[in-house]
Amino acid sequence: MTGLEDRIREYLELRRALGFKLEDDGRLLNQFAAHLAGNGAGIITTEAALAWAVLPGGAPGYHGARLSVLRTFLRWLKAFEPSIEVPPHGLLPKGSGRAVPYHYTDDQVRDLMARAAGQARSALKAATDATLIGLLACTGLRVGEAIRADVGDLADGVLTIADAKFGKTRLVPLHPSTCNALEGYRELVNAELGTVSTPALFVSTAGTRLIYQNVQRLFHRLAARAEIMSSSGNCRPRIHDLRHTFAINTMSDAYRRGEDPARVLPVLSTYLGHVSPASTYWYLDATPELLAQAAARLEPGRAAPAQDLLAGKDLP
């Protein structure tokens, strides 16, 4: 089908203008276009879409998720190309949904940072990898937010996250020790590279902004070397789970200090950049240890839904 790449670009520009990032969608749709071109297909059919979606690779449910991305695009495209076929909903299972968060211990985070510092080919790469993991662990930033951050976004101990999820901007206060680590890292960047063309806070040895896929691959290698293993088929160590771990640890610390969780949770939600505390519940309710701390605050014999426990509702 001719002009498919242009239609994909138009579709992505339209949806991104509405606040969607669509980083994976763009990559997947371009893969589909390349697949069609490689097979000489002149028209998009359900058979062609399914053949691409079930290509080997990915975790359980990935094929269904890949087809879902394509279906959304094809529904839009059919308004311009009535001859194309849109695969029916439910043709492939999407698996069990969101992955179960992996909760890292403090020792595991330190081990990951140490291995990042020890395996790198240069002092700059070692510092980049270790500092990035440390920042994610102590702030709960999304990976994309950290690698999109610029040097100018950090001022007076506050990191400005611009153009975050849904196009929002938020301020992330940092602990003084985190600021010192970032300042030390930037001093090394200046010493190793001098003037660089990119304003990025984290840079590669070539002086360019980091690439999301490369960061993910690095983390997978580090986790394997640190022998951080999957606890189940749906709970595998991912770099995004540093964000989950930060949320869990924040609420757990609040319970230990006797703070009011109903006050802490909205602050945590805002700090993480969630639309509402309801979006933060997913980070918390899959953690037995945290639920046990919440349940211990109830009067004997009383029960409450997990969301109410974590938010501090119906507590004595």
Answer yes or no: 240 catalytic: yes
- CATH annotation of 108-225: 1.10.443.10
Residue 145 near residue 161, CB atoms below 8 Å: yes
Rounded to whole angstroms, how far apart are CA atoms 169 and 95?
33
Instruction: Examine the residue annotation and report whether 103 is marked as an active-site residue of this protein.
Output: no
pLDDT tens digit sequence for 279-314: 777 666 556 666 666 666 654 444 444 445 445 444
State yes or no: is 11 an active-site residue: no
SS3 91: coil
Q: Which of 142, 148, 209, 244 is catalytic?
A: 142
- Active-site annotation holder among 104, 243, 255, 271: 243
Catalytic residue (one of 71, 115, 125, 274): 274
- Is 302 an active-site residue? no
Note if the pTM is more than 0.85.
Answer: no
Is 283 one of the catalytic residues? yes
- What is the full per-residue pLDDT of the chain (316 aa) written as tens digits? 568 999 999 999 988 877 677 878 988 999 999 999 888 877 899 999 999 998 887 665 788 888 999 999 999 999 989 999 999 988 887 655 566 778 899 999 999 999 998 877 899 999 999 999 999 999 999 999 999 999 999 999 999 998 766 667 889 999 999 999 999 999 999 999 988 889 999 999 999 999 999 999 999 999 999 999 876 666 788 999 999 999 989 988 888 888 887 788 889 988 988 877 777 776 665 566 666 666 666 544 444 444 454 454 443 3
Q: What is the spatial distance between Cα 65 and Cα 97, in angstroms, rounded to a whole number?
A: 9
Q: How far does Cα 151 stand from its chain's mean position?
A: 21
Query: Is 243 an annotated catalytic residue?
Result: yes
Integer CA distances (angstroms), 240 to 212, 216, 247, in order: 12, 9, 12
Quote the tokens at residue 87.
């695969």
pLDDT digits (tens, 9 = 90+) for 39-82: 887 789 999 999 999 888 766 578 888 899 999 999 999 998 99
> Rounded to an integer, what distance in angstroms lies between the CA atom of residue 4 and that of residue 38?
13
- Domain boundary assignment for the chain: 4-77, 108-225, 241-311
Token pair belonging to 200: 């990025």
Q: What does the mean pLDDT of the chain come to?
A: 84
Three-class secondary structure of residue 22 per DSSP = coil
Q: How far is CA 231 from the centre of its chain?
A: 20
